[in-house]
A and B are shown apart, each in its own frame.
Chain A
Amino acid sequence: ETGVTQTPRHLVMGMTNKKSLKCEQHLGHNAMYWYKQSAKKPLELMFVYNFKEQTENNSVPSRFSPECPNSSHLFLHLHTLQPEDSALYLCASSQAIGGRRTGELFFGEGSRLTVL
């Protein structure tokens, strides 16, 4: 039990499908993140939310659409993905003050996405 829960753990989708990844944190943190982990590449930061406001969007294609309804929940909506989007998508949370992370990142177990 890491305190950050991601569902589903595994997802296979076609290029025309629409699906969503869900993340929930039970740690009382106020910042949440989406990272992408591809084979042989470093973790890539995709989005950052601080108090439900998006503060970072690292040039992520619009086929990825994040949503943060409150400080405990984070979604990543997926549509018309490409096979190269297949990867492990990791959610993380942390405490933040004044727009800066003040503690460690706590990661979820990840959602393994395969796009056919």
Chain B
Amino acid sequence: TQLLEQSPQFLSIQEGENLTVYCNSSSVFSSLQWYRQEPGEGPVLLVTVVTGGEVKKLKRLTFQFGDARKDSSLHITAAQPGDTGLYLCAGDQVGTSYDKVIFGPGTSLSVIP
């Protein structure tokens, strides 16, 4: 069974600070997604990374997929209270017949004004 680990589990920072959260696995994924889930809502897709070493930017968010496609990071610059939420990474398993998305446990981010 492939597992995804995320760190840190919880993060509380002041508005304006930078932060990085990590998603790690011992297994290779064909692609990896990052979602943000706000309290009382379902997860919303932020980005999908497919190629090893790929870097994608979404405004103040920078996503990187590891060269070996086993890990990923999300960096937020100048965090704002609106960034508060649960950040989930999810990986598509390699070599399965159907949808086998594995989710990590998430990083709960709180940005204090």
Which residues on A are within 8 Å of B, measured CB to CB? 2, 4, 31, 33, 40-43, 45, 48, 50, 55-56, 90, 92, 94, 96, 99-101, 104-110, 112
Instruction: Please indicate which of the listed interface residues B42, B88, B104, B106 has the most CB atoms of chain A within 10 Å of its own CB.
Output: B42
Q: Which 3 A-B pairs have the closest CB atoms?
A: A107-B42, A43-B103, A101-B99
Which residues of B in the span 15-68 have a Cβ within 8 Å of any Cβ on A?
Answer: 33, 40-45, 48
Give the contact-size bracket for chain B.
20 to 34
Residue of A with least CB distance to B92? A101
Question: Are A96 and B99 CB-contacts (below 8 A) given A40-B105, A41-B105, A104-B48?
Answer: yes
A5 CB, min distance to chain B CBs, angstroms: 11
Question: Are A105 and B4 CB-contacts (below 8 A) given A33-B99, A42-B105, A43-B88?
Answer: no
- For residue A43, which residues in chain B have a CB less than 8 angstroms away from its CB? 43, 88, 90, 103
Q: In the complex, A67 Cα to B103 Cα: how many Å?
A: 24
